Structure 1
Amino acid sequence: MLAKANRITSADDYRFIVRRGAKVAGAHTVSYLRSRESGTDARFGFIVSKKVGTAVRRNLVRRRLKAASRELVDDGLASVDVVVRALPTAAAASYPDLRADVASAISARGRRAVRADAGPARAATEDG
Protein backbone atom coordinates (compact mmCIF):
# COMPACT_ATOMS: atom_id res chain seq x y z
CA MET A 1 0.00 0.00 0.00
CA LEU A 2 1.16 3.53 -0.69
CA ALA A 3 1.96 5.71 2.29
CA LYS A 4 -0.35 8.66 2.87
CA ALA A 5 2.41 11.06 1.76
CA ASN A 6 2.46 9.25 -1.61
CA ARG A 7 -1.28 9.51 -2.33
CA ILE A 8 -3.25 12.21 -4.10
CA THR A 9 -6.45 12.60 -2.10
CA SER A 10 -7.95 15.91 -3.18
CA ALA A 11 -10.33 16.14 -6.13
CA ASP A 12 -8.82 19.54 -6.93
CA ASP A 13 -5.35 17.99 -7.15
CA TYR A 14 -6.64 15.28 -9.50
CA ARG A 15 -8.31 17.90 -11.70
CA PHE A 16 -5.24 20.13 -11.76
CA ILE A 17 -2.83 17.31 -12.68
CA VAL A 18 -5.09 15.87 -15.39
CA ARG A 19 -5.72 19.28 -16.96
CA ARG A 20 -2.22 20.74 -16.72
CA GLY A 21 0.06 17.72 -16.50
CA ALA A 22 2.00 16.12 -19.32
CA LYS A 23 -0.01 13.30 -20.90
CA VAL A 24 1.77 10.02 -21.69
CA ALA A 25 -0.24 7.22 -23.32
CA GLY A 26 0.67 3.57 -22.84
CA ALA A 27 -0.87 0.33 -24.04
CA HIS A 28 -3.12 -0.04 -20.97
CA THR A 29 -2.94 3.34 -19.21
CA VAL A 30 -2.82 7.06 -19.78
CA SER A 31 -0.62 8.85 -17.26
CA TYR A 32 -0.65 12.53 -16.40
CA LEU A 33 2.54 13.84 -14.79
CA ARG A 34 3.34 17.13 -13.14
CA SER A 35 6.63 18.13 -11.51
CA ARG A 36 6.69 19.20 -7.87
CA GLU A 37 9.14 21.11 -5.72
CA SER A 38 12.50 19.43 -5.40
CA GLY A 39 12.81 17.18 -2.38
CA THR A 40 9.08 16.43 -2.04
CA ASP A 41 7.54 12.97 -2.12
CA ALA A 42 6.13 11.49 -5.31
CA ARG A 43 2.33 11.28 -5.19
CA PHE A 44 0.07 8.95 -7.15
CA GLY A 45 -3.63 8.89 -7.96
CA PHE A 46 -5.64 6.32 -9.91
CA ILE A 47 -8.72 6.54 -12.10
CA VAL A 48 -10.32 3.20 -12.95
CA SER A 49 -13.74 3.65 -14.57
CA LYS A 50 -16.56 1.16 -15.07
CA LYS A 51 -15.36 0.69 -18.65
CA VAL A 52 -12.55 -1.44 -17.21
CA GLY A 53 -15.03 -4.03 -15.91
CA THR A 54 -16.83 -5.21 -12.83
CA ALA A 55 -15.95 -3.93 -9.35
CA VAL A 56 -13.78 -6.98 -8.74
CA ARG A 57 -11.79 -6.38 -11.95
CA ARG A 58 -11.49 -2.62 -11.30
CA ASN A 59 -10.16 -3.21 -7.79
CA LEU A 60 -7.66 -5.77 -9.10
CA VAL A 61 -6.38 -3.26 -11.66
CA ARG A 62 -6.19 -0.52 -8.99
CA ARG A 63 -4.27 -2.79 -6.60
CA ARG A 64 -1.81 -3.70 -9.36
CA LEU A 65 -1.27 -0.03 -10.24
CA LYS A 66 -0.72 0.83 -6.58
CA ALA A 67 1.83 -1.96 -6.21
CA ALA A 68 3.69 -0.77 -9.32
CA SER A 69 3.70 2.78 -7.94
CA ARG A 70 4.98 1.58 -4.60
CA GLU A 71 7.93 -0.09 -6.36
CA LEU A 72 8.77 3.20 -8.10
CA VAL A 73 8.65 5.11 -4.81
CA ASP A 74 10.86 2.47 -3.18
CA ASP A 75 13.32 2.89 -6.07
CA GLY A 76 13.67 6.59 -5.21
CA LEU A 77 11.11 8.39 -7.36
CA ALA A 78 10.40 11.86 -5.92
CA SER A 79 9.18 15.35 -6.80
CA VAL A 80 6.40 14.34 -9.20
CA ASP A 81 2.62 13.95 -9.14
CA VAL A 82 1.22 11.13 -11.28
CA VAL A 83 -2.41 10.35 -12.09
CA VAL A 84 -2.84 7.02 -13.87
CA ARG A 85 -6.05 6.42 -15.82
CA ALA A 86 -6.66 2.74 -16.62
CA LEU A 87 -7.94 1.98 -20.11
CA PRO A 88 -10.40 -0.90 -20.76
CA THR A 89 -7.50 -3.09 -21.96
CA ALA A 90 -6.03 -2.92 -18.43
CA ALA A 91 -8.64 -5.46 -17.32
CA ALA A 92 -6.84 -8.23 -19.23
CA ALA A 93 -3.30 -6.92 -18.64
CA SER A 94 -0.89 -8.72 -16.36
CA TYR A 95 0.90 -7.05 -13.46
CA PRO A 96 4.24 -6.82 -15.33
CA ASP A 97 2.45 -5.12 -18.26
CA LEU A 98 0.83 -2.52 -16.00
CA ARG A 99 4.09 -1.96 -14.12
CA ALA A 100 5.91 -1.44 -17.43
CA ASP A 101 3.26 1.07 -18.56
CA VAL A 102 3.62 3.19 -15.42
CA ALA A 103 7.43 3.01 -15.42
CA SER A 104 7.71 3.87 -19.12
CA ALA A 105 5.37 6.85 -18.70
CA ILE A 106 7.58 8.27 -15.97
CA SER A 107 10.78 7.62 -17.92
CA ALA A 108 9.24 9.16 -21.06
CA ARG A 109 8.46 12.28 -19.05
CA GLY A 110 12.08 12.40 -17.92
CA ARG A 111 13.33 12.12 -21.50
CA ARG A 112 11.05 14.97 -22.56
CA ALA A 113 12.30 17.18 -19.74
CA VAL A 114 15.91 16.53 -20.77
CA ARG A 115 15.12 17.30 -24.42
CA ALA A 116 13.27 20.49 -23.44
CA ASP A 117 16.24 21.61 -21.35
CA ALA A 118 18.74 20.79 -24.09
CA GLY A 119 16.80 22.47 -26.90
CA PRO A 120 17.41 26.17 -26.15
CA ALA A 121 21.00 25.58 -25.00
CA ARG A 122 21.87 23.82 -28.24
CA ALA A 123 20.26 26.60 -30.30
CA ALA A 124 22.24 29.22 -28.37
CA THR A 125 25.55 27.43 -29.02
CA GLU A 126 24.81 27.00 -32.72
CA ASP A 127 24.02 30.72 -33.13
CA GLY A 128 26.97 31.92 -31.04
Structure 2
Amino acid sequence: MRRSTDFGAVVRSGVRARGGPVIVHFRPELDPGSPARIGLIVGKQVGGSVVRHRVSRRLRAQLAQRLGLLPAGCGLVVRALPEAAAADSALLARSLDRGLGRALELAPGNEAGR
Protein backbone atom coordinates (compact mmCIF):
# COMPACT_ATOMS: atom_id res chain seq x y z
CA MET A 1 0.00 0.00 0.00
CA ARG A 2 1.48 3.33 -1.03
CA ARG A 3 -1.26 5.91 -1.48
CA SER A 4 -2.39 8.00 1.46
CA THR A 5 -5.99 7.54 0.32
CA ASP A 6 -5.67 3.77 0.82
CA PHE A 7 -4.11 4.24 4.26
CA GLY A 8 -6.85 6.70 5.18
CA ALA A 9 -9.63 4.40 3.98
CA VAL A 10 -8.35 1.50 6.07
CA VAL A 11 -7.62 3.54 9.20
CA ARG A 12 -10.86 5.53 9.11
CA SER A 13 -13.40 2.94 8.05
CA GLY A 14 -11.79 -0.36 9.03
CA VAL A 15 -11.83 -2.19 12.34
CA ARG A 16 -9.05 -1.64 14.87
CA ALA A 17 -7.45 -4.06 17.30
CA ARG A 18 -4.46 -3.65 19.55
CA GLY A 19 -1.97 -6.42 20.08
CA GLY A 20 0.74 -5.25 22.48
CA PRO A 21 3.11 -2.81 20.75
CA VAL A 22 1.11 -2.73 17.49
CA ILE A 23 -2.35 -1.61 16.41
CA VAL A 24 -3.89 -3.44 13.47
CA HIS A 25 -6.39 -1.65 11.22
CA PHE A 26 -8.30 -3.98 8.88
CA ARG A 27 -10.81 -3.31 6.12
CA PRO A 28 -12.17 -6.43 4.41
CA GLU A 29 -13.05 -4.91 1.04
CA LEU A 30 -10.59 -2.18 0.17
CA ASP A 31 -10.19 -3.21 -3.48
CA PRO A 32 -12.23 -6.32 -4.37
CA GLY A 33 -10.59 -8.60 -6.89
CA SER A 34 -7.03 -7.51 -6.12
CA PRO A 35 -4.49 -9.04 -3.74
CA ALA A 36 -4.44 -7.96 -0.10
CA ARG A 37 -2.80 -4.57 0.46
CA ILE A 38 -0.62 -4.00 3.49
CA GLY A 39 0.86 -0.81 4.90
CA LEU A 40 3.02 0.11 7.88
CA ILE A 41 3.00 3.22 10.02
CA VAL A 42 6.13 3.58 12.13
CA GLY A 43 6.25 7.15 13.37
CA LYS A 44 8.98 9.18 15.02
CA GLN A 45 7.54 8.33 18.44
CA VAL A 46 9.01 4.84 17.96
CA GLY A 47 12.55 6.20 17.83
CA GLY A 48 15.24 7.48 15.52
CA SER A 49 15.67 6.46 11.92
CA VAL A 50 17.68 3.33 12.66
CA VAL A 51 15.15 2.10 15.22
CA ARG A 52 12.17 2.84 12.97
CA HIS A 53 13.73 0.97 10.07
CA ARG A 54 14.58 -2.00 12.29
CA VAL A 55 10.96 -2.17 13.51
CA SER A 56 9.70 -1.84 9.92
CA ARG A 57 11.95 -4.68 8.72
CA ARG A 58 10.82 -6.94 11.54
CA LEU A 59 7.14 -6.19 10.91
CA ARG A 60 7.51 -6.72 7.15
CA ALA A 61 9.14 -10.10 7.75
CA GLN A 62 6.33 -11.16 10.09
CA LEU A 63 3.63 -9.91 7.71
CA ALA A 64 5.16 -11.77 4.77
CA GLN A 65 4.62 -15.02 6.68
CA ARG A 66 0.95 -14.16 7.26
CA LEU A 67 -0.11 -13.08 3.77
CA GLY A 68 -1.99 -16.35 3.27
CA LEU A 69 -4.29 -15.53 6.21
CA LEU A 70 -5.61 -12.38 4.56
CA PRO A 71 -8.58 -12.41 2.19
CA ALA A 72 -8.12 -11.04 -1.32
CA GLY A 73 -9.02 -7.38 -1.72
CA CYS A 74 -8.59 -6.47 1.92
CA GLY A 75 -6.56 -3.61 3.37
CA LEU A 76 -4.35 -3.96 6.43
CA VAL A 77 -2.42 -1.20 8.17
CA VAL A 78 -0.12 -1.99 11.08
CA ARG A 79 0.80 0.93 13.32
CA ALA A 80 3.83 0.48 15.56
CA LEU A 81 3.60 2.05 19.00
CA PRO A 82 6.65 3.36 20.89
CA GLU A 83 6.93 0.04 22.80
CA ALA A 84 7.75 -1.66 19.47
CA ALA A 85 11.25 -0.17 19.61
CA ALA A 86 12.20 -2.49 22.47
CA ALA A 87 10.32 -5.53 21.14
CA ASP A 88 12.14 -8.43 19.53
CA SER A 89 10.82 -10.29 16.48
CA ALA A 90 9.11 -12.97 18.59
CA LEU A 91 7.15 -10.40 20.60
CA LEU A 92 6.19 -8.52 17.44
CA ALA A 93 5.02 -11.82 15.90
CA ARG A 94 2.83 -12.67 18.92
CA SER A 95 1.44 -9.12 19.04
CA LEU A 96 0.71 -9.14 15.33
CA ASP A 97 -1.06 -12.51 15.60
CA ARG A 98 -3.16 -11.27 18.51
CA GLY A 99 -4.11 -8.00 16.80
CA LEU A 100 -4.73 -9.59 13.41
CA GLY A 101 -6.84 -12.38 14.91
CA ARG A 102 -8.99 -9.90 16.80
CA ALA A 103 -9.36 -7.60 13.77
CA LEU A 104 -10.48 -10.53 11.61
CA GLU A 105 -13.04 -11.48 14.29
CA LEU A 106 -14.41 -7.93 14.44
CA ALA A 107 -14.58 -7.46 10.67
CA PRO A 108 -18.02 -6.96 9.13
CA GLY A 109 -19.49 -10.23 7.93
CA ASN A 110 -17.84 -12.27 10.68
CA GLU A 111 -20.49 -12.81 13.33
CA ALA A 112 -18.30 -15.18 15.38
CA GLY A 113 -16.44 -12.29 17.04
CA ARG A 114 -19.56 -10.48 18.24
TM beyond 0.5: yes
What pairs with 1:49-128 in structure 2 (closer than 5 Å)? 49-73=43-67, 75-79=68-72, 80-113=74-107, 117=111
Give TM-score scaled by structure 1 length.
Answer: 0.76
Ranked by relative contact order (alpha carbons within 8 Å, sequence separation 6 or more), the top structure is: 2
Identity %: 33
Task: Number of aligned residue pairs: give it.
Answer: 111
Q: Which structure has the bigger radius of gyration? A: 1
Consecutive unaligned residues of structure 2, counting only runs of 5 or more, are none
Dislocated runs of 4+, deviation >6 Å:
none
Counterpart check, 1:34 vs 2:35: no
Give TM-score scaled by structure 2 length.
Answer: 0.85
Deviations along 1:19-58, whole A, 9 cap, x unmatched? 1110101210111100026664221100111111110000
**Structure 1 residue 96, shift from structure 2 partner:** 1.1
Consecutive unaligned residues of structure 1, counting only runs of 5 or more, are 1-7, 120-128
Deviations along 1:57-97, whole A, 9 cap, x unmatched? 00000011111110001x44333211011000000001011
Q: Indicate the RMSD between aligned Cα atoms, in angstroms.
A: 2.2
